[in-house]
Amino acid sequence: MKKHNFSAGPCVLPKSVMEQAAAAVLNFDDGLSLLEISHRSKPFVDVMENARSLALELLGLEGKGYKALFLQGGASTQFLMVALNLLEKRAGYLNTGTWADKAIKEAKIYDDIYEIGSSKSANYNYIPKGYDIPEDYDYFHCTSNNTIFGTQMKSFPNSPIPMVCDMSSDIFSRQLDFSKFDLIYAGAQKNMGPAGTTLVVIKEDILGKVSRKIPSMMNYKEHISKGSMFNTPPVFAVYVSMLTLEWLKNLGGIKAIEKENEKKARLIYSEIDLNPLFKGYSVKEDRSIMNATFTLENENLKETFESMVKEAGINGINGHRSVGGYRASMYNALSLDSVKALVEVMSELESKA
């Protein structure tokens, strides 16, 4: 039976992408596997260039002074790289969850980071609003979607300083004016591909303004000048990301997938709100369309619910330990039918209770 995969990441990818990826492992170019050709060979250089330009095209950032890189070390390495490359005297961070908190921790190695806003005391169930961004800071850092808590920034400030955003868990899922951001980063393993590469999109003119020496592997300028091939790139992760970006482009791009994502989110949240057995975790206005977090009100029904979930072929809905309950991650490749299957189980539980 086909599984309904609600995993928070790594997660569901389009079936056609999996098939093409599997085929390329066996035969990518003239009888050779994607995994055994040189990253400097033309077929792979073409993959890298295509992936980089597709990313910019889908975000509407082509010809606007941005460069796309596919780096390694996960989004977690970006917490550090952002600070190394951009932080001279002071930066402001919006603390909206575990990942934002980790980004702050890394940047604090270099400076006393200022938390412009925080929802930590409410265990991050909302997005702080009405904050001011000091004009004399180096940059402002935010997290567009908080994977663990299920909150999402619905609007972004008009920042007077460069705006950096961790979009790991909602990149390519909704239309935004991406040109508002000066640096965007996202681990591939949610909406883009397998774990192993991180997309970084940078407006080039924000670089070169810090006085410290930056080690080559940590230096965005170095990666840009080498066409994202400073060292051997993660060839498989980049290839599968390219396939997923092609898949998205063929579907009609972000505009088309956003409509699907909204349908999925409406369906699950209306069940959470109407079914008295369940309660949403995050405040309504900040609910994520990617990760719906909720709890079961009656603990006695836990076992029954979980066995019904299993029976329906639903995978990966256990909540993160810092929130508890459940989390339905509904990334781009998850079908509306999968959300329908989960909602059916939730409403069947109500009829049984």
Active-site annotation holder among 166, 170, 182, 286: 166
Tell me the Ramachandran region of residue 259: left when phi exceeds 0, alpha when psi lies from -120 to 50, beta otherwise. Answer: alpha
Instruction: Check the annotation: does 231 bind a ligand.
Output: yes
CB of 81 to ligand PMP, least distance (A): 12
Point out the residue whose Cβ comes nearest to ligand PMP: 74
Instruction: Check the annotation: does 147 bind a ligand.
Output: yes
Nearer to ligand PMP, 127 or 349 (CB): 127
Active-site annotation holder among 67, 190, 203, 264: 190
Instruction: Check the annotation: does 166 bind a ligand.
Output: yes
The four Cα atoms 17, 143, 103, 223 give a dihedral, to 10 degrees, of 50
Catalytic site residue 99? yes
CB of 104 to ligand PMP, least distance (A): 12
CA atoms within 13 A on the CB side of 101: 13
d(CA 22, CA 178): 32
Nearer to ligand PMP, 166 or 258 (CB): 166
At a CB cut-off of 8 Å and minimum separation 6, what does 283 contact? 125, 126, 151
What the block records as the tokens of 160 is 């007077």
At a CB cut-off of 8 Å and minimum separation 6, what does 314 contact? 3, 4, 6, 338, 341, 342, 345
CB of 329 to ligand PMP, least distance (A): 10
Nearer to ligand PMP, 169 or 332 (CB): 169
CB of 250 to ligand PMP, least distance (A): 26
Instruction: Check the annotation: does 76 bind a ligand.
Output: yes
d(CA 210, CA 230): 21
Nearer to ligand PMP, 53 or 76 (CB): 76
Q: Are strands 151-152 and 145-146 parallel, antiparallel or unpaired?
A: antiparallel
d(CA 86, CA 76): 16
CB of 283 to ligand PMP, least distance (A): 19
d(CA 8, CA 167): 14
Binding residues vs ligand PMP (CB under 6 A): 9, 74-76, 99, 143, 147, 166, 168-169, 187
Active-site annotation holder among 99, 138, 170, 264: 99
Instruction: Check the annotation: does 40 bind a ligand.
Output: yes
Nearer to ligand PMP, 195 or 224 (CB): 195
Catalytic site residue 102? no
Residue 270 burial (10 A CB sphere; 0-12, 13-18, 19+) = exposed
d(CA 51, CA 192): 11
Catalytic site positions: 99, 166, 190
Which residues are part of a known binding site?
A: 40, 75-76, 99, 147, 166, 189, 231-232
Which residues are part of a known binding site for pyridoxal 5'-phosphate?
A: 75-76, 99, 147, 166, 189, 231-232
Which residues are part of a known binding site for L-glutamate?
A: 40
